[in-house]
Amino acid sequence: MTEQSSTILFNDFQSLEERFSRFLRKQRPRAAYVKRLKEELKNSRVFELRRSVGAILVASFGVLFAGTLSVSIAVLVQKARRRLKV
């Protein structure tokens, strides 16, 4: 591919992008519709379940992290005691 053909191809893509941009600007939904849809989704059972699962996962990872940290500290303390006894 020559430099001239790549420049022509780039210009074609750029003009196509601009046309799509102008077309899609007119296709935006009304603000009231978007607001009502967001409210419905916030109150839906699926999103409530999703939030609950997310909270359970965060709590589980917190407990897992605390347990791992506790075991690591216990192992380090035990190794330190062995070294001091010798």
- Nearest CA to 38 out of 21, 30, 1, 73 is that of 30
Identify whether 38 is part of a domain: yes
Take residue 62 and report the two structure tokens written for it.
């917190």
Counting residues of the chain whose pLDDT is more than 70, the rounded percentage is 87
Give the model confidence (pLDDT) of 6-41 as tens digits.
666 677 888 888 888 887 777 777 889 889 988 888
Where does the pLDDT of residue 51 fall: very low under 50, low under 70, confident under 90, or very high at 90 and above? confident
pLDDT at 4: 56
- Nearest CA to 16 out of 27, 24, 26 is that of 24
Into how many domains does the chain fold? 1
Identify whether 77 is part of a domain: no
Identify whether 75 is part of a domain: no
What's the mean per-residue pLDDT of the chain?
86
Identify whether 10 is part of a domain: yes
Q: Which residues, in sequence order, are CB contacts of 1 under 8 Å at separation 6+?
A: 9
